Amino acid sequence: MKFNAKMQDIKNYEAGKPIELVVREFGIEPKDIIKLASNENPNGCSLKVQEAVSKIISKMALYPDDSMLGLKKALSKRFDVEDDNVIIGSGSDQVIEFLIHAKANSNSKILMNSITFAMYEIYAKHVGAQILRTSSQEHDLEEFYKLYLEEKPSIIFICTPNNPTGDAIEAVKLFEFVKKIDSDTLVVVDGAYMEYALAKDASKEVKPKDLINQFDNVIYLGTFSKAYGLGGMRVGYGIADAKIIKELYKLRPPFNITTLSLEAATVALEDEEFVNKSVVDNFNEMKRYEEFAKEQKIDIINSYTNFVTLCLNSSQKSSKVADLLLRKGMIVRDLSGYGINAIRVTVGTKEQNSRFFELASKIL
Amino acid sequence: MKFNAKMQDIKNYEAGKPIELVVREFGIEPKDIIKLASNENPNGCSLKVQEAVSKIISKMALYPDDSMLGLKKALSKRFDVEDDNVIIGSGSDQVIEFLIHAKANSNSKILMNSITFAMYEIYAKHVGAQILRTSSQEHDLEEFYKLYLEEKPSIIFICTPNNPTGDAIEAVKLFEFVKKIDSDTLVVVDGAYMEYALAKDASKEVKPKDLINQFDNVIYLGTFSKAYGLGGMRVGYGIADAKIIKELYKLRPPFNITTLSLEAATVALEDEEFVNKSVVDNFNEMKRYEEFAKEQKIDIINSYTNFVTLCLNSSQKSSKVADLLLRKGMIVRDLSGYGINAIRVTVGTKEQNSRFFELASKIL
């Protein structure tokens, strides 16, 4: 059977290896496996969320309220925007899917950073769009602008803080950049890790409200998968001018998040204490990674997220290091596929991080 | 901002009104509202599933095992196929999305029944494909074949039992039909309600194994949303030749079902007793709808599903009847949008159905 020509160019996203897979592949006991590969919240999720979800377990047979009004109201209140500025996705991934399918096609170009979240490229290929990348590791907005002028992309992705490198750009500079972009180019500001960035350095905070008040060609993306501790529940959101949201809604399939996910996300927004503690714990533990990198004489990228990127010396291959760690039951992300000799490690619990240092110090 | 031209032609799917919306719109107390509009399982979901999900509530922060090997193995065992014949979607809807995006484009034609599941058309429009429909209310496979010869569609959708009408085709006739279709045309057999059909009449049972053993251009779709009582958890699947599955996998985003959904579906497959009881209860209660229709002198379509379609007399408009019921807190589906003067009513619990008869007898 023949499929669309574009299919030949599409590869699968390689997710962080789940614990279940390591159990199967290496026969390691689940209790001996630590996964620091998918930037999940090591504090788990809010107890209030757990209680709320437990109470509605019997409602699994019922479709969710497809208007999602409760969650949309909670989000619009949280970000001081209107309900019609918000769209909910099955993870912010799905909002990326909507916007690429709404705006791009096989004649379009999509501009993104040299190293950035893999799903932008994957969804771009789904519509056969051409992918343009800058050359520098960090977001260089001057280079972005130069390429924008030369190539006239339909969509520009800015990921801040950036995944998988952890660096973030100054909010002021982002606003200056967007100001120069014409109103028919969609600028996507992916703030999946923004809760961490704003706590570490207020100058990195990009407020969705400020963005959409100034620009009608920008969409801000957020997620419940990181600081809110709901990676397994698949809830993300986009915030933009109502005209953009209305268009994306056309591509949203009904019931795109589960009944339990809807409850979980709504209650999670009420428990800011959990988020704040997660962020504080994260940066306390991150200091240990910074010390570890110094001891090991390897570079660590200044991170505004819940992960650290360790840039290895040329004598060590990141793929080899990640594999050796994996065989000891420690799952981290090798970034060689992104073109850098580095591993990305989620900042885990105190015990998980200690175990990482113990194992990594023998390997590095 | 300009969007892709195809966007102008896309409308949103109108889901059955959720209870939350009726509460808001008409100020009716939730306890007084009965929703028989989305074919949810009135028995709820398996207690074993509820227990299993309760036990992993604390894992909401963790992404699911993206290989979904446990669920795939359970499904392949259930249907006596291989693991690589199976793909999991966020509802079978998402598998429909994958296959349309993989196979169709703006130059394609997609053939479906005059009245059938709305998502086929919605996803077809996402790729700008042309939609072809037969003229008869039930699947007329001769007409399908005639249109196939004339129009050479890329995809043919057969929904059996059909939603929203409830009728089903003979399995033998389906196989005869598929035999005549060339191997480059994808035939989709949507068996979302198959668990009900096979219990009522074995001649309607389409076995995925038989389909894929005979044909490499067919995909069978199933769901956990109906007989398995997990509508709110968004899990469906496709079963096809491994080559088709491999292609569809390219379009599957990572983590497309939640951690709790994965557990729920896996355990649900182990509790066949729950499914069997749901199906038996369903057809026992359905008899009451048949009697009701006879009393009211209205037509009822012989249903192989968990819903009944009541074809109203021309003196009564289905939109009006559905609205009057709604104002009494009874949510059913008006089918006037599908071009028939009928309402679709999910077979509910004994009490819910009694209430329907009570209200409807005053209105009809």
- A14 pLDDT above the threshold of 70: no
Model confidence over A209-245: pLDDT tens digits? 999 999 999 999 999 999 999 999 999 999 999 999 9
Which residues lie below 8 Å from residue B320, measured CB to CB, with a gap of 6+?
none
- Report pLDDT digits (tens) over B236-250: 999 999 999 999 999
Type and span of the H or E element at A155: strand A155-159
For residues A243-248, average pLDDT: 96
* Chain A contact for B9 (CB, 8 A cutoff): no
- Nearest residue of chain B to residue A23 (CA atoms): B65
Q: Is A161 on the interface with B (CB under 8 A)?
A: no
Q: Which ranges of chain A would DSSP assign to H, the alpha helix?
A: 19-26, 47-55, 69-79, 92-103, 118-126, 141-151, 171-179, 194-200, 208-214, 242-249, 259-268, 272-296, 318-327, 350-363
Q: Which of A3, A53, A232 sits opposite B64 (nearest CB)?
A: A232
A37-87: per-residue pLDDT in tens? Answer: 999 999 999 999 999 999 999 999 999 999 999 999 999 999 999 999 999
- Contact residues on chain B for A18, CB-CB shorter than 8 A: 63-67
Share of chain A above pLDDT 70, in %: 98
Give the pLDDT of residue B109: 98
| Interface contact B250-A10, CB threshold 8 A | yes
Q: What is the average per-residue pLDDT within B299-321?
A: 97
- Are A160 and A220 in contact by the 8 Å Cβ rule? The answer is no
Cβ neighbours, 10 Å, residue A50: 19
Q: What is the pLDDT of residue B47?
A: 98
Q: Which CATH architecture has domain A47-271?
A: 3-Layer(aba) Sandwich (3.40)
Calpha distance B65→B255 (Å, rounded): 8
Q: Per-residue confidence at B294, pLDDT binned at 50, 70, 90?
A: very high
Calculate the average pLDDT of chain A: 95
Reading the block at residue A215, the tokens are: 């620009």
Q: What is the CA angle A113-A117-A119, rounded to 5?
A: 115
Interface test with B, best of A65, A212, A258, A277 (most B CBs within 10 A): A258
Domain boundaries, chain B: 5-44+273-363, 47-271
Provide the number of CB pairs (under 8 Å) joining chain A to chain B: 226
pLDDT surpasses 80 at B182: yes
Which residue in this structure is represented by tokens 């110094």?
Answer: A294
Interval A143-193: pLDDT, tens: 999 999 999 999 999 999 999 999 999 999 999 999 999 999 999 999 999
pTM (2 decimals)?
Answer: 0.96
CA angle A318–A320–A322, rounded 5-degree value: 65
Give A333→chain B minimum CA distance, Å.
15
Q: What fold characterizes domain A5-44+273-363? A: Aspartate Aminotransferase, domain 1 (3.90.1150)
Predicted confidence (pLDDT) per residue in B97-153, tens digit: 999 999 999 999 999 999 999 999 999 999 999 999 999 999 999 999 999 999 999
Tell me which residues of chain B, numbers 16 to 35, contact chain A at a CB-CB cutoff of 8 Å.
Answer: 16, 18-21, 24, 35
The neighbouring-strand residues paired with A331 are A35
Q: How many CA atoms lie within 13 A of A358 on its CB side?
A: 10
Instruction: Please give the pLDDT value at position B30.
Output: 84
CB proximity A253 to B under 8 Å = yes
Instruction: Check residue B259 and give its pLDDT.
Output: 98
The Cα diameter of chain B in Å comes to 56
What angle do helix axes B350-363 and B272-296 make, rounded to 10 degrees? 20
Distance (Å, whole) CA B278 – CA B228: 8
A104: contact with B, CB 8 A cutoff: yes
**Does residue A20 register a pLDDT over 80?**
no
Give how far A313 is from chain B: nearest CA, Å: 31
Chain B CA closest to residue A248: B7
Q: What is the DSSP letter of A1?
A: -
Running DSSP on this structure, what letter comes out for residue B143?
Answer: H
Predicted pLDDT of residue A19: 73
* B40 shares contact with chain A (CB less than 8 Å): yes
Run of H or E including B287: helix B272-296
The span from the CA of B95 to the CA of A263, in Å, is 25
The secondary structure of A96-112 as a DSSP string is HHHHHHHH--TT-EEEE
H helices of B127-187, where?
141-151, 171-179
Q: Tell me the shortest Cα–Cα distance from A315 to chain B, in angstroms.
A: 33
Rounded Cα distance between B232 and B242, Å, is 29
